Amino acid sequence: MRSSDLVRAARLDGTLYEEVRANTSATSSALGVVALVALAHGAGGIVRALAFGRDPPTEGFLIGAQGEVVFWVGSSFAIYLVGRYLLGSTATYGQVLRPMGFATVPGLLILVAALASLAGAQVLVFAVLVPWRLATSFVAVERALGVGRAKSAVALLLGVACGLVFVGLGTASLLNVLA
């Protein structure tokens, strides 16, 4: 994973998403991007836990980090299934997983959002983060599935919904284990 690839992903460079779709050796790089975002999410969980005293810091870290990984794997799988079996794509799971991993790049701002929450300004960060992440994810899905914009949007929306359900289930399971 090169830093220039992270910049290209953040800039919605469709050719990057096509390259990682086709490159089976880019799975580890996609995982590396997700791991960085998961660490940022986990660090944000620590900041929020310490600042607001709701959860122990380790719990905040684990919830944030596992949520990012579970969302990546779960939403990618749902997008693959929808694309392949409902929308006529020929993409494999790996061809969806890799671009979706790179699409998480804007998630690095989650730590900034956690820090901004200390000043009550996290809404401003999320106003940038959420649309940006949806945009990178849309480009990733469009390039991964190759089924057109409307069908890609449907696959992305269903994938995000499923990913959020998986995160909820994963968080509940994690909390049960930690209790």
pLDDT in tens, the chain (179 residues): 688 899 999 999 999 999 999 999 999 999 999 999 999 989 988 888 888 777 788 888 898 899 999 999 999 999 999 999 999 999 999 999 999 999 999 998 888 888 887 777 778 888 888 999 999 999 999 999 999 999 999 999 999 999 999 999 999 999 899 88
Note the pTM of the prediction, 2 decimals. Answer: 0.91
Six token digits for residue 82: 């929808």
Residues 6+ apart with CB under 8 A from 37: 68, 104, 105, 107, 108, 110
Is residue 117 within 8 Å of residue 51, measured between CB atoms?
Answer: yes
d(CA 148, CA 143): 9
Contacts of 90 (CB under 8 A, 6+ apart): 84, 146
Is residue 105 within 8 Å of 136, Cβ to Cβ? Answer: yes
